[in-house]
Amino acid sequence: MLYHGWDESKKERWADKETGHSPELWARAMGWAMMALVDTISYYPEQDAGRKVLMAELDRDAAAVARYQDGETGLWYQVMDKAGAKGNYLESSASCMFVYALAKGVRLGYLPQSYLANAERGYKGIIGHFIQTGQPGQGDSVSLTGTVKVGGLGGDPYRDGSYAYYIGEKVVTDDPKGVGAFLLASTEMENAKSAKLGRGDTVLVDAWFNSQKRVDAFGQQDYFHYKWNDESNDGYSLLGHIVHNFGAQTKTLYTEPTVAALDQAQVYIIASPDTLAKNPNPHYVNPEDGAQIAEWVKGGGVLFILANDPANTDLEHFNLIADRFGIHFNSVLRKHVIGDAHEMGKLIVPGGGPIFHDPHTLFMKDVCNISVRSPAVSAFQDDEGILMATAKYGKGTVFATVDPWLYNEYTDGRKLAEPYDNFAAGKELMRWILAQVPR
């Protein structure tokens, strides 16, 4: 486990003269560290050596936290390794932090599935031990009790980091450090219900047919436009959050999609292949690409293809993939939106279907439409034609749509006001897509 503090000079009164660390293992300090790990690892590329270091640290921390979880309540003590010591007590903020970190670590694939049981026991303990409802004069209020108000080292008056210091600090109700961690833990436990759907799956996004780059803040060439790590309006970072909330992992394919390359994933997304106007060196789809992708789908892969209007995507070559499944993107312009006249791109999805259970109002701007033949069928159409189609092919499934409409600009809830709900519809669509993966 991690000590609360460390002094390189070893001169502080609380610092061990040989190691420099403080004398006790304070639970909330450990909680902050674990929360930081699960919140930041995703920003490190898989090939980055630093990611491996952080993953190893999280693995060690999780093992220690599980070992010191109270067997009766599922909670954690203020001073973690002194459960039976006089004056020690179960502390709420750290317990919430550990539940959050363990559950999120499992959901994102950083930790083994077995740690979800620790998170579930901990959350049950939090609800039963620390949550009070309907306090006198407060109606239907919910309060979190049992949070130590502060913990520190040094200062004036001097905090010596002793056991007596940690158990002597004031314990309060509804401290923001506890409430915030409780909200995060509650969200993760809610997500845990749906995360079972995609657990173990990988959703791969294409960076070969759409391989646009731009200079980032560090002066480096970086991929953007429908990419997981692109948090701008053009990116799929919010779609990535949807994927992660279903328990699946996200990866990017920077090379041609061979069967061998695709076998690392269960779902493969291709959005709006480049034109010369978008990329001076585009990788056009060729017949062999179509054959490789079709072979992968036949074996059980789920292909998610998103076109665009003829001016913004290479429909001619993209159809070398789509046509293999009875889907053809037509070189026409539909849903042409002028300025902020969003109603020109409105789609009313009634709900009650296998893909969209709930009704939605979608927005798609400047699209083509689709023609289908067996084995493909229409999944949604309006007076502009077929805008979504599906196909069963061998053991696999294809979903095609005429616009990459799940990018951040139209899912973040800022530019598009109600009733448009692309994000909510994206959650339903991704749930359906993951449900098509053979189990």
- For the stretch 375-414, pLDDT in tens is 999 999 999 999 999 999 999 999 999 999 999 999 998 8
**d(C-alpha 47, C-alpha 276), whole Å:** 30
Q: Look at residue 417 and tell me whether its pLDDT is greater than 90.
A: no
* Sign of the dihedral through C-alpha 133, 136, 140, 144: negative
The dotted CATH code for 27-195 is: 1.50.10.10
Question: Would you state the pLDDT for residue 138?
Answer: 67
Q: Look at residue 169 and tell me whether its pLDDT is greater than 70.
A: yes
Question: Would you state the pLDDT for residue 439?
Answer: 87
Please give the helix or strand (H or E) that residue 131 lies within, else none.
Answer: strand 131-133
Residues 6+ apart with CB under 8 A from 167: 78, 79, 87, 88, 89
Share of the chain above pLDDT 70, in %: 99
What's the whole-number average pLDDT of the chain? 96
pLDDT band at 174 (very low <50, low <70, confident <90, very high): very high
Query: Quick count: other Cβ atoms within 10 Å of Cβ 361?
Result: 16
SS3 for 60-89, per residue?
Answer: HHHHHHHHCCCCCCCCCECECCCCCCCCCC
pLDDT band at 193 (very low <50, low <70, confident <90, very high): confident
Domain boundaries, the chain: 27-195, 202-435
Copy the structure tokens of residue 401: 């749509």
Summarize the confidence of residues 326-349 as an average pLDDT: 95
From the list 144, 134, 150, the residue with the least C-alpha distance to 179 is: 144
Question: Would you state the pLDDT for residue 136?
Answer: 67
Phi and psi dihedrals of 176, rounded to 5?
-55, -30
Question: Would you state the pLDDT for residue 402?
Answer: 98
Cβ neighbourhood burial of 267 (10 Å; 0-12, 13-18, 19+): buried
**CA-based angle 414:419:422, to the nearest 5?**
65
**d(C-alpha 398, C-alpha 391), whole Å:** 5
The dotted CATH code for 202-435 is: 3.40.50.880
Phi and psi dihedrals of 204, rounded to 5?
-105, 130
Question: Would you state the pLDDT for residue 418?
Answer: 86
Question: Would you state the pLDDT for residue 175?
Answer: 97
Please state the pTM of the whole predicted model. 0.85
Strand-pair category, 202-206 with 267-271: parallel
pLDDT tens by residue, 8-59: 999 999 999 999 999 999 999 999 999 999 999 988 888 899 999 999 999 9
Q: Cα torsion at 181, 184, 189, 190 (round to 10°)?
A: 140
Question: Would you state the pLDDT for residue 42?
Answer: 87
